[in-house]
Structure 1
Amino acid sequence: MTTLTIPAGEHGQIRLFAVNRPVEVIASMLQSNDKAAAISDLLGFTVPSGSAELFAVSDLTGVGLPRYLTDGYAVTEAQINADRARLDALEGYVLLLFSSAFDGAETTLDIGPDLTLIGTYGEEQPAMAAPPLTADAAQPYTGVPNLTPTTPPRGRAGGAVMVLALIVALGLILWWLL
């Protein structure tokens, strides 16, 4: 049994596992249950929807697992090149487990014999370099507070609105009665 410790606050990490059960067993499990049940059975705990992916490597024919990770999940080529031979050699089913499965909590996983950890890959994060906002409008609490509410119109304009509302109400009542 392999023990993995997921640190608190982790995000953007993908753990790739090879599934050690026979292809036929996994295929029949997926036909009789939904994927979430199969993933829970393999991991030994339930993960939130969308935080794990289970699929046959043969489904990636023409693309390949390395390219699927780089194009689909923004894993860097440097990370893939370090494990390329292992990734290309995988057959059967694989399980991708995302950091979102742990909801930011520190977690200890006991991985049984059904799964073999192939690698942990970080999704490439875009550089977030933005100049600081220096305009007066960007500063907090820069507006002048208006503590006096506006007064509604009175006189002819206010009376005209009331008369118009009364005419519309009478028209609706007459229309409903006829």
Structure 2
Amino acid sequence: MTQLEIPKGEIGQIRLFAVNRPIDELARDLRNDSKEALIAELLGRPVPEGAAELFPVSDLTGVGLASYLGDGYAVPREQISRDRARLDALDGYVLLLFSSAFDGQEATLDLGPELTMIGTYGEAQPDMSVTPLEADSAQPYTGAADMTPKSPPKGGAGGMIVLLAVIVLIGLILWWLL
């Protein structure tokens, strides 16, 4: 049994495993049980939905596993090229396990004979660097402080009450006359 350590806080990693079961047996297991249950059985632990993929390499005919990783998951070509021969030689079922399966928690996977680790690939991360703003207006505390509060409008509610009373009085007089 092989142990695989997943570090705390890991993000953006994809682990690729070859599944060492006969294709027809695995296809039968998938017909009889859910894909999530089969993935949990292979890994020895449940994983959240969408945190792993299990599929036959033959589903990628015309695309190939290397292109699937590169184009589908933005794995840099340099990482794929070091394992290209192994990726091209795979057949049967493969399992992709994403970092999201561990929710940033440290974990240890005990891999049995049904899984063979092929490689770990990092998804390309976007460039998060920014150019600092150097304009004077972008600097903190550069605005002119307005220390005098705005004065409330004069007359306020008192004038409105008198106006409302006059309107009601006129309405009552008109009603009494008619």
Using the size of structure 1 for normalisation, the TM-score is 0.77
Deviation at 1:39, TM superposition (A): 0.6
Q: What is the root-mean-square deviation in Å for CA atoms of aligned residues? A: 2.9
How many equivalent pairs are there? 156
2:34 match: 34
After TM superposition, where is structure 1 displaced by more than 2 Å over at least 4 residues in a row? 132-140, 142-145
Q: How does 1:19-58 map to 2 (within 5 A)?
A: 19-58=19-58
Whether the 8 Å CA contact 2:4–2:108 is kept in 1: the answer is yes
In 2, distance between residues paired with 1:102 and 1:62?
Answer: 32
Structure showing greater radius of gyration is 2
1:102 match: 102
In 2, distance between residues paired with 1:62 and 1:98?
Answer: 24
2:7 match: 7
1:139–1:47 distance in 2 versus 1, CA, 3 Å:
farther
Say if 2:58 is the partner of 1:75. no
Instruction: Give structure 1 stretches of 5+ with no counterpart.
Output: 164-178
Whether the 8 Å CA contact 2:44–2:109 is kept in 1: the answer is no
In 2, distance between residues paired with 1:51 and 1:41?
Answer: 15
2:126 match: 126
Give SS of 2:83's match: helix
In 2, distance between residues paired with 1:138 and 1:52?
Answer: 46
Instruction: Give structure 2 stretches of 5+ with no counterpart.
Output: 169-178
* Identity over aligned pairs, percent: 61
Deviation at 1:26, TM superposition (A): 1.1
